[in-house]
Structure 1
Amino acid sequence: MNLLSVNVAKPLRAPSYTDAPGSLTGIDKRPASGPVGVSAPGPKGTGGSALADDTIGDMRHHGGDHQAVYAYAREDLDGWARELGRDLDPGCFGENLTTEGLDVNGARIGERWLIGDQVVLEVTAPRIPCRTFAGWLDERGWVKRFTERALPGAYLRVVQPGAVCAGDGVVIVHRPDHEVTVSFLFRALTREPELLPRVLAAGDALHPEARGKALRRTGG
């Protein structure tokens, strides 16, 4: 298991189909040529990406400590590439980390990854598709299609800062004993809300917004 690529944004002006046309968007991520520093960015709304030189445009919905890093598996990109009949380069889904040999969507909430010999990240939540993502891919019905497949990729928070680069190994150093994987939580938050009470088994590692939604479902 390793990082195939570490990607940071080339900032763009958000087009008219987004929620904030004319503002900056960081969805166009490109592979970095060397090591990239990683540190906790701060609370959502004030903190952006954990990666140095990366850009988060819409900090209302993206970035912050619980969505500090976004990872997507090369194997899942390859599956989409075959289905869509087009090349999908590392970073094209807006991911910071393009992984290889790692079951990102099967990772459990609270699972911790040691990347290289310094950085420790903890899985917190799935990515929820938005209009910016759909417009960027320029595929008809993309949000529905992406949601139905339930291969959203994982957001992670920074437990231990440091630097990462392409080729770094990834080691799972902690795997919680519960059923709440990235894909399971995504399904609960989108098409299968009846699963929401079960996501509370993820405990304190659960993204606060997901926890709130689950508690509302249970009347807690």
Structure 2
Amino acid sequence: MRHGALVAALLLGACAKPKDEPMVSRGALKGAPAASASSGGSERPQPRGAATVRTDKGMYSAPAVRFIADFLGEPPVTLMRVALSAQSEDGGTWRFRMAVDEKFVKSKHATARIIPQTALGPGRVVVDYQLAQGLPMAMDEGTLELTVTGNHARGEVRTKDGRVRATFEGPLTVECTVPPAWLSGANAPVPSSPDDGTVRVPDEALATPQCRSMADAFR
């Protein structure tokens, strides 16, 4: 598999929606066929907390905005994304999943185009929400702008005509996974086979220089 195709496939797996949630686009409410959900992914709503989202549909919150870095050994690729999965008091959800790259780590700023699909790359973001007792809805178009200052993230979502659809802000946490061989601890998991190069384990203690570097960038 070519290197570019592998990166695209890994981004798809890292940022896809959970398969058990049917997704309906705004176009579906106008009579267009409903979009089917893609499989894979692990972005579940987080408990309520210090990160807040304000929309025209209500307020949502989560413990933090998450910056996630996945280091792969072979080929040496780093997949990065920013995600927020917030909940409202009545059980509604609001989420985004945004692919970023090394430029974001340096500039702490990114603007992405909203797409209804789940195959992400730098410059693209998926935004969806679900009202209590309602169907999941995906924004079809617009932009999401994100700025990080220290370990505080803030941003806004705009429609294609420039109207602000949502604003969010809150603490930013850094999550990092690496190949098991990078961790020397005896309890570190190991791949099921020598060829299983995509297995990664959390480096919660920031024992690797790669993960320490990511954490230091957002202090």
Whether TM exceeds 0.5 here: the answer is no
- The TM-score, its normalising length taken from structure 1, stands at 0.27
Normalized per residue, which structure has more strand?
Answer: 2
Q: TM-score, normalised by structure 2?
A: 0.27
Larger CA Rg, structure 1 vs 2: 2
Structure with more helix by fraction: 1
